[in-house]
Chain A
Amino acid sequence: MRQTTRLPSMDFKFDLREWWRNFNRKNTYVLSLVIFIVTTVAYLMLQPNAFEEGVLSRLLTSNFRTWLPVILLAIGQTFVMLSGGLDLASGSMVSLFNVIMAISITSNEEPWFNLVIVLGVVGLGLIGGFFNGFLTAYMGLQPMITTFATSFVYSGLALLILPDPWGKIPREYSSVYRITTWFGIPLSLFIIAFILIIWAVIKNRRYGHFLFAVGGKVDAAYYTGIRVTRIKISTYMISGFFSSLAAISYTLLTGSGSATSGAEMTLTSITAAILGGTSMAGGSGSLIGSVFGAIILGTIKNLISLSKMDSWYRLLVNATVIIMALASPGIINLFRRKK
């Protein structure tokens, strides 16, 4: 450090307003946390005998094993969106991997063979993600259009492999996923917690800082000497990796394969990420927010079925919640300006 003769100043005054502003900027999930609490409380109140012994644990298990594929996909999507990209191919990758596993996994007497299949799927996820990243980050093509196009490659392959839903995953495997709990907490929640812990570590490593810098202002990141292309490609690979994890959990959940299984998941995962406070423009957001976002979307689905509404209301209510969540920062600004 270069020498200076000036005396240090003691300017460590705590400013509440600045702290709160920074807190919101750093913790973009706050809004999704509030919606999460509201929807969950509503859900538990509508759910009969939710507080009887054992019911809560059962609810946790059955809900989270259904939500996990979308949650995983939303996590992968968050990485891409943080760096300023978008991955519209992640759901189609789920379909493809689901189909591959459905036709190739054999009985539980060949565990090594099955393990190779699963690892192969994870590898394919990384390769598919690299392909998306190469086209968008290295070739400089528009992420939205490019990944939309590659999504047809993946879903087309899925249809080619398995035109009609079929498949038999050994019951022994799927029941491990479906009913394993420790202390009343299901396996899927442990998986989520594990990923969030890993993220908490990575976020504070250089890679995490680079991710936010690339998404925040790509030119600035480049001038600062960050390898922008590599960072971008890596996010697509992470998204592909999470697609493979989502496909594994979805296959274990349903026990079979369908070429359209992931089709709906892409937009749901993006919605979940946005609901969780991740910016489409990149540079701000959090994994925990996306997890909350996915849970909120799942809970709303449950709420509608519990309240005996027609199922087509689901789309309407979903849309309303999303629009309100998206508009809230703008509305707050509007009020501020009026004053």
Chain B
Amino acid sequence: MKSISLNAQFITKKFGGVVALRDGSLDVNSGEVLALVGANGSGKSTLAKIITGVITRDSGEIIFNSEPVVFNNPLAAHIAGVTAVYQELSLVPSMTVAENIWLAHEPLTKIGQVDNRTMVSETRKLLKLFEGTYQSTLRPNAMVDTLPPDEKQIVEILKAISRNPDVLILDEATASLDSRQVECLFSLIKEWKDQNMALIFVSHRMDEIFRIADRAVVLRNGNSVGEVKIAESSETEIVSLMVGHESGLGRAERATLNIADEIALELNDVKTDVLAGVNFSVKKGELVGIGGLRGQGQTDLLHTLFGNKRFDGQITLFGEISTANHPRDAMKKGIALVPGDRATQGLLLIRSIFENLHLPNWQAYGFPLKQKKAESDANRISKTLNMVMASLEAPVTSLSGGNAQKVVIGKWLLRDPKLLLLDDPTKGVDVGTKAEFYNLLDRLCETGTTTLFYSSDEQELIDICPRVLVMQDGFIKADLSGDSLTKANLVSTSMGAGLNATNNKAAVHGF
């Protein structure tokens, strides 16, 4: 049997000024499953994409079957036998299942026409690998955009496997699959392993890693920090590698004095297409962090509260049952949302800072417009937020990331929100601005503003939030506060492992 080895050494990659990978190294051989693990933003996906040629590396070397190779595009990697399963990224929605699976390596007839009959029958054979785990609508001639997410993911897997790759990278391939489909995939992975394939399994789920992987390479902040044999390792060991030596020590005791006994927000079995029954309550003036891996329903939760999504269940806001089904209703109730994507959801890029600041507030300035008052208010808020800018009339695009985010926050502060929803507000924001931002959050809490703060940065949650809700698969997986709020707990509960310390779920939030 052909033996395969892929060895990536000291890969580095910068995006603009941000270092995504400092030292990405891994090696994988035929007949084994290597798990690539790491917290949010540790560089897993970047490394996987560099190996498959989707993005090019800055430096470092990839040695494939003892020869150095350069994959400048995915085509080069495909030809060499390196293929990846992406998360629904590589399917064309307007083409059929068969066309997608065989795209760019279609079976051809003698005169070079695409052989549709063979394509369909080969697709049927491939679909049989997952037989019994999908609905009857998944067939070779079905359009991909009519399929549910799990079946799209199956097609994605079959598409990669149809190329008979030597090295297969599964990037979060199980994220949208149900348990039967995962079982099916795992038995297939074992088969492929026996057929001498080399597999790289990128996953956030500890239990899956322990079931399927032989070895694991751990990434932290763009560095490969360790390699463990799964059989000789434990969840704790891997989590501690992921977290590093920074424990929750430097955590300042945040002001929790002003928290009233009054419940500000209560969710009772709230369900949407993503949320699967969310229950929690928040007291007035409390600052609650929301953690967990990306895309586990955090953004959906915030948007649901902001009236931007239909939901089932009950949301009680300041003692009233909320019926908000439009952001306008939510704004009237004193809710503000700082959205996750500044450029498309937070700002009107072609307008000035002044106009952006007042976008949700013009009503307050009556008719005819009290321009003077509006200007003085805008000046006041820009001073409070310490915004660095040429003038209020300068275009919002002239601001740095941190200052632009201040505009997004400022426009809501002008409304004196009672409930502030923050969707990863410190993403792409410099350290100085972050510090200012944390102070601002403290001040807001002191004045009795209730805040829900989602962040993809675990350290940040630990540092500033006295209480953190961890989400997974649309559920609140854990409710951490007091002693149970440590980085190790946060990371391990995010990845579906149990709590290391006592499970705090039933306990009263310990203040």
Residues of A within 8 A of B (CB): 1-4, 6, 8-9, 11, 13, 18, 21-22, 25, 201, 204-206, 208-210, 212-213, 216-217, 219-227, 283-284
Residue of B nearest to A223 (CB): B90
> Does B92 lie at the interface of the complex (its beta carbon under 8 Å from any beta carbon of A)?
yes
Interface size on B, residues (CB 8 A): 45
A216 touches B74 (CB 8 A): no
A204 touches B116 (CB 8 A): yes
> Does B391 lie at the interface of the complex (its beta carbon under 8 Å from any beta carbon of A)?
no
Partner of B92, one of A1, A6, A208, A283: A283
> Does B73 lie at the interface of the complex (its beta carbon under 8 Å from any beta carbon of A)?
yes
Partner of B95, one of A18, A205, A212: A212
Sample (13) of A-B pairs whose CB atoms are under 8 Å apart? A2-B161, A4-B129, A8-B124, A13-B136, A22-B141, A209-B95, A216-B92, A221-B103, A222-B54, A223-B74, A225-B73, A226-B104, A283-B92
> Does B75 lie at the interface of the complex (its beta carbon under 8 Å from any beta carbon of A)?
yes
A223 touches B94 (CB 8 A): no
B93 touches A225 (CB 8 A): no
Residue of A nearest to B74 (CB): A225
B75 touches A6 (CB 8 A): no
A220 touches B92 (CB 8 A): yes
Q: How far is the CB of B449 from chain A (nearest CB, A)?
A: 39
Provide the bound-state CA to CA distance between A25 and B142, in Å.
Answer: 11
Provide the bound-state CA to CA distance between A22 and B79, in Å.
Answer: 33
Known contacts A2-B195, A204-B116, A209-B114: A227-B75 contact under CB 8 Å: yes
Q: How far is the CB of A234 from chain B (nearest CB, A)?
A: 15
Provide the bound-state CA to CA distance between A201 and B111, in Å.
Answer: 10
B141 touches A226 (CB 8 A): no
Q: How far is the CB of B50 from chain A (nearest CB, A)?
A: 14
> Does B384 lie at the interface of the complex (its beta carbon under 8 Å from any beta carbon of A)?
no
A9 touches B94 (CB 8 A): no
Contacts of A224 in B (CB 8 A): 74, 90, 103-104, 159
Known contacts A210-B104, A212-B94: A204-B141 contact under CB 8 Å: no
Contacts of A205 in B (CB 8 A): 112-114
A216 touches B128 (CB 8 A): no
Partner of B106, one of A21, A209, A216: A209
Q: How far is the CB of A209 from chain B (nearest CB, A)?
A: 6
Contacts of A8 in B (CB 8 A): 124, 128
Contacts of B106 in A (CB 8 A): 206, 209
> Given known contacts A2-B192, A206-B112, A219-B90, what 17 new A-B pairs fall within 8 Å (CB)?
A1-B125, A4-B129, A25-B94, A206-B106, A206-B108, A210-B103, A212-B95, A217-B91, A217-B92, A217-B94, A221-B103, A223-B86, A224-B74, A224-B104, A224-B159, A226-B75, A226-B104
A283 touches B90 (CB 8 A): no
Provide the bound-state CA to CA distance between A312 and B177, in Å.
Answer: 60
Contacts of B141 in A (CB 8 A): 22
Provide the bound-state CA to CA distance between A13 and B141, in Å.
Answer: 12
